[in-house]
Amino acid sequence: MPTAHKQSRQPIFKTDKGLNRSIVIQISEQKNEPGWMTDFRLQALALFEQKPMPSWGADLSDLDPNDIHYYLKPVAQQQTSWDAVPEDIKNTFDKLGIAKAEQKFLAGVGAQYESEVVYQQLKKKWVDQGVLFLDTSTALQQYPALFKNYFATVIPAHDNKFAALNSAVWSGGSFVYVPSGVHIDMPLQAYFRINSASMGQFERTLIIAEPASSVHYVEGCSAPVYRAHSLHSAVVEVVALPESTIRYTTIQNWAPNVYNLVTKRAVAHRHATVEWIDGNFGSKVTMKYPCIILKEEHAKGQIISIAVAKKDQHQDAGGKIIHLAPHTTSNIVSKSISKQGGITSYRGLIKIIKGAIGAKSRVQCDALLLDPISSTNTYPTLDVREQDVEVGHEASVSSIDEEQLLYLCSRGLSVQRARAMLVNGFIDAFVRELPMEYAVEINRLIAMEMEGSIG
Amino acid sequence: MQENTVIAQTVAYIDQTYSGTTLCLADYARHGQAAVTIIIERGVQVVFTACSIPAAAITFKCQPYSRVLFLVESSAQQPDVQAQFEWYLEEKSTVECVIMGTITGEIVMNIDFHVQGIGARVSCRALIAVADGARATLKTRQLHTAEHTTSTVRVHTLVGTSQFDYRGTIDIDQTSIHAKAIQVNKNILLSAMRKVVAIPTLQVRTNIVNCVHGAAVGSVAAEQLVYLQARGIDARRAQMLLLHGFLMDALAGACQASVCFANQKIETMVDELRLQ
């Protein structure tokens, strides 16, 4: 798992702290964007200013939008070879194991440092088949028609305050386009790094899978620890066209000074499958509720998530599935672990509209509390307007089973090892869905997290 | 019971004199009183019954070691009603509620259980049929603030062309170690209903607890219907049997008196739905 490495570097360009029209125009000019995008950004800024901060969920009172740099350009241009990436940035990603992973088991890698993608590479095999894996700003320049066709169609700027903020100041992120019939059999990985204090990262990711294609996109995030707060507010739009499959895996390990306020939504067309695999380990506050809109018949959606909250952390996560068509199916499995006074919340929605006959949905939320000062909340909503459906929600809260602990200890395991093993068993539903390399790392991370949590 | 002060001050004391008796809830919520407090004194065992849901806010204070059985039936002719039942359970007190019947108008019912005495136990079972054109909102809260407390809420609902909203909360504070809380809401949809919303929330602030909640929405299982029909039971009767079983399932673990009370009335409830 990524760990924090502080390395300072002078940026090529950096906006002043705070947000106004002039800053939005500066960002757009830096990127040499067409007029429609500048207008879109400015309209989004107006929406951001109009919308109030959310009054529900985690405490955002310490987040000061005027104490953040909204755009920081670290290098003059993006590279396609690690050798051409500045040494200090390359070292950061080397320590995170990105370059090594790219050679071994990834189809392509994008690495974003502050506001810009500094490295992007897709293996030739996939380039030849017409796959696009670009940073989003480059996609706007090189494929304007395709880009405009899908951009902000799943998450419009007025969706919520932080979607409006992202729409106003977005920079970087991934643009993935998989042509019809192409199955990318290795994951594409994007890595997001905030390296400066009081920094905002607002990447915008757009994934389009044409009919009968498939892709697995993995994103990782990290930042070094500073005293000042940073803000990560991404928008991810996913479009799964008929019979396609998209799996989106996130391993979020932001530093405990980062507010992680993310909007993720997918639209699944006929017989398409969308899966969000979502691991939240870091950040001060996370508010993230991946959504799947099952738009056409036989579409499937799955959300498997885990949240680990430690001291001074609030992981407010969940999932939403909206069944708009007949015979659509969905499944949500949410696991959470709270320790050292951490707070985890599951906030979910299953909505089945009239006419979505034969829709099936199942939600399972399990929370593990490792000490008496931690807490957990579950706020699910089931909204059903059709008769011929099957919807179920189950939730449980418990601590580590003393009998199971005794069983393992009596067989020679230390208490710490036994607890780590039981916690690994608890999150097995999540780990099972990860590529092997990540699963091993997650198990190690859990073992590390268990250190000092005995008793 | 000190009756004349009871009505004037809207406070009733149920003392040892009434232990072991069955009392009619309407006697306490009469004269259009908006709010009534009923105090069940230490060690008293009493049964409250009502043949309609009272349109009132009633607070029950159960002193240590008291036992209350609360059996309320909603009649099909009952007009629109708003009701609030607030229960405070002290040490080792036990409360069992069964609320059942067919809703034909608009009903809003809030039931709060403050499980605040060590070892207090409460169970609430709501067996509700929401008839065509009706609208029902049920809110339950299980608030645990003491050790070794137990609460169970089971809401089983049959929903016609109507609207049903259920909002259930389990809230367990930091002092409530060894608390056990269960909340289950199951809904069977009988026709092209307008809407069912279930929001079962859970807030837990200590780790040595056993806490479970669940919600389900579905229709009568076709394979179960086929199974019964294959054994010579006609479709209507088969559906009635399944619905009867579904409602009775809410009474799992209930005392014999509750089961007898419910069993007699479920048949009528299912009949009132006029299944095709």
Decide if B122 is inside a domain. yes
pLDDT digits (tens, 9 = 90+) for B202-235: 999 988 899 999 999 998 888 999 999 999 999 9
Residue at a domain's end among A256, A288, A320? A288
pLDDT of the residue at A79? 76
pLDDT of the residue at B5? 39
pTM for this model (two decimals): 0.90
pLDDT of the residue at B7? 41
pLDDT of the residue at A222? 77
Q: Taking CB atoms and an 8 Å limit, are B204 and A391 in contact across chains? A: no
CA distance A119 to A192: 11
Instruction: Find chain A residues with C-beta within 8 A of B194's C-beta.
Output: 385
Angle at B83 (CA atoms; ends B78, B86), nearest 5 degrees: 145
When pLDDT is cut at 50, 70 and 90, the band that residue B8 belongs to is very low
Rounded to the nearest angstrom, the minimum Cα separation between B255 and chain A is: 26
Name which of B132, B180, B204 to mutate to probe chain A: the one with the most chain A Cβ atoms within 10 A of its Cβ. Answer: B204
B198 to chain A, any CB pair closer than 8 A? The answer is yes
When pLDDT is cut at 50, 70 and 90, the band that residue B274 belongs to is low
Rounded to the nearest angstrom, the minimum Cα separation between B145 and chain A is: 14
Residue at a domain's end among A249, A269, A288? A288
Picking from B177, B200, B209, the nearest residue to A380 by CB comes out as B200
Q: Taking CB atoms and an 8 Å limit, are B197 and A382 in contact across chains? A: yes
When pLDDT is cut at 50, 70 and 90, the band that residue B1 belongs to is very low
Decide if A47 is inside a domain. yes
Q: Give the residue, A263 or B263, on which the prediction is more confident.
A: A263
Instruction: Find chain B residues with C-beta within 8 A of A393's C-beta.
Output: 198, 200, 213-216
pLDDT digits (tens, 9 = 90+) for A216-262: 999 988 777 777 789 999 999 999 999 999 999 998 888 888 999 99
Q: Where are the beta strands (DSSP E) in B90-205?
A: 94-103, 106-115, 121-130, 135-144, 150-159, 163-172, 179-189, 195-204
Residue B96 Cα distances to A82, B68, B143, B145, B185, angstroms = 69, 6, 16, 19, 17
pLDDT of the residue at A454? 41
Decide if B206 is inside a domain. yes
User: Which domain does A407 fall in, by range?
Assistant: 400-455
What percent of chain B clears pLDDT 70, i.e. is strictly above it?
93
Q: Is the pLDDT of residue A275 over 90?
A: yes
| Arithmetic mean of pLDDT, B236-251 | 92
Residues 155-174 of B with CB under 8 A from A: 174
| Arithmetic mean of pLDDT, B127-149 | 94
CA distance B192 to B8: 48
Closest-CA residue to B101 (of B250, B275, B268, B218) = B268
Rounded to the nearest angstrom, the minimum Cα separation between A386 and chain B is: 6
The domain total for chain B is 1
Picking from A387, A392, A399, the nearest residue to B208 by CB comes out as A399
What percent of chain A clears pLDDT 90, i.e. is strictly above it?
63
Q: Give the residue, A438 or B170, on which the prediction is more confident.
A: B170
A280 and A418 in a single domain? The answer is: no
A264 and A411 in a single domain? The answer is: no
DSSP, res B269: H
A392 to chain B, any CB pair closer than 8 A? The answer is yes
pLDDT digits (tens, 9 = 90+) for A294-336: 999 999 999 999 999 999 999 999 999 999 999 999 999 999 9
Please list, in sequence order, all residues whose beta carbon lies within 8 angstroms of the beta carbon of residue A316, skipping any fewer than 6 positions away.
A57, A58, A285, A286, A287, A288, A343, A344, A345, A347
Angle between helices A35-50 and A21-30 (to 10 degrees): 150
- Written in H, E and C, the secondary structure of B182-243 is EEEEEEEECCCCCEEEEEEEEEECCCCEEEEEEEEEECCCHHHHHHHHCCCCCHHHHHHHHH
pLDDT of the residue at A2? 41
Instruction: Find chain A residues with C-beta within 8 A of B183's C-beta.
Output: none
Q: Which residue has the tokens 């947000």?
A: A19
Decide if B233 is inside a domain. no
Q: Which residues pair with B109 in a beta bridge?
A: B83, B138
Q: Is the pLDDT of residue A1 over 70?
A: no
CA-based nearest residue in chain B for residue A355: B192
CA distance A47 to A224: 31
Strands A390-398 and B209-218: antiparallel
CA distance A146 to A139: 9
Please list, in sequence order, all residues whose beta carbon lies within 8 angstroms of the beta carbon of residue A159, skipping any fewer than 6 positions away.
A263
User: Which domain does B19 fall in, by range?
Assistant: 3-219
Q: Is the pLDDT of residue B263 over 90?
A: no
Residues 399-418 of A with CB under 8 A from B: 399
Rounded to the nearest angstrom, the minimum Cα separation between B161 and chain A is: 10
CA-based nearest residue in chain A for residue B201: A379
pLDDT of the residue at B91? 97
Name which of B217, B219, B220, B276 to mutate to probe chain A: the one with the most chain A Cβ atoms within 10 A of its Cβ. Answer: B217
Instruction: Find chain A residues with C-beta within 8 A of B193's C-beta.
Output: 385, 387
| Arithmetic mean of pLDDT, B131-138 | 91
Residue A26 φ then ψ, to 5°: -60, -45
How far does Cα B236 stand from its chain's mean position? 28
Angle between helices A35-50 and A161-169 (to 10 degrees): 150
Rounded to the nearest angstrom, the minimum Cα separation between B53 and chain A is: 27
Name which of B158, B202, B209, B223 to mutate to probe chain A: the one with the most chain A Cβ atoms within 10 A of its Cβ. Answer: B202
Angle at A92 (CA atoms; ends A87, A96), nearest 5 degrees: 140
Residue at a domain's end among A234, A269, A288? A288
When pLDDT is cut at 50, 70 and 90, the band that residue B193 belongs to is low
Question: Which tokens sit at A44?
Answer: 């989004």
CA-based nearest residue in chain A for residue B212: A396
Q: Is the pLDDT of residue B89 over 90?
A: yes
Indicate the average pLDDT of chain A.
89
A357 to chain B, any CB pair closer than 8 A? The answer is no
Q: Taking CB atoms and an 8 Å limit, are A395 and B207 in contact across chains? A: no
How far does Cα A123 stand from its chain's mean position? 24
User: Are B172 and B151 within 8 A, CB to CB?
Assistant: no
pLDDT of the residue at A164? 97
CA dihedral A18, A24, A30, A36 (to 10 degrees): 170
Instruction: Find chain B residues with C-beta within 8 A of A367's C-beta.
Output: 204
CA distance A272 to A73: 37
pLDDT of the residue at A76? 65
Q: Taking CB atoms and an 8 Å limit, are A396 and B211 in contact across chains? A: yes
CA distance A258 to A193: 12
CA distance from start to end of chain B: 49
Q: Is the pLDDT of residue A94 over 80?
A: no
What percent of chain B clears pLDDT 90, i.e. is strictly above it?
65
The domain total for chain A is 2
Question: Which tokens sit at B5?
Answer: 């002060």
Q: Is the pLDDT of residue A30 over 80?
A: yes
When pLDDT is cut at 50, 70 and 90, the band that residue B31 belongs to is low
Closest-CA residue to A194 (of A159, A162, A169, A230) = A230
Decide if B82 is inside a domain. yes
Decide if A313 is inside a domain. no
Name which of A321, A349, A377, A382 to mutate to probe chain B: the one with the most chain B Cβ atoms within 10 A of its Cβ. Answer: A382
Q: Taking CB atoms and an 8 Å limit, are A395 and B202 in contact across chains? A: yes
pLDDT digits (tens, 9 = 90+) for B49-76: 988 888 888 999 999 999 999 999 887 6
User: Are A336 and A364 within 8 A, CB to CB?
Assistant: no
Interface size, chain A vs chain B, as Cβ–Cβ contacts under 8 Å: 112
pLDDT of the residue at B191? 80
CA distance A212 to B55: 59
pLDDT of the residue at B26? 83
Q: Taking CB atoms and an 8 Å limit, are B207 and A380 in contact across chains? A: no
3-state secondary structure of B144: strand
ipTM: 0.85
Q: Is the pLDDT of residue A9 over 70?
A: no
Instruction: Find chain B residues with C-beta within 8 A of A358's C-beta.
Output: none
Decide if B175 is inside a domain. yes
When pLDDT is cut at 50, 70 and 90, the band that residue B181 belongs to is very high
pLDDT of the residue at A452? 54
Rounded to the nearest angstrom, the minimum Cα separation between B49 and chain A is: 33
Picking from A370, A382, A398, the nearest residue to B198 by CB comes out as A382
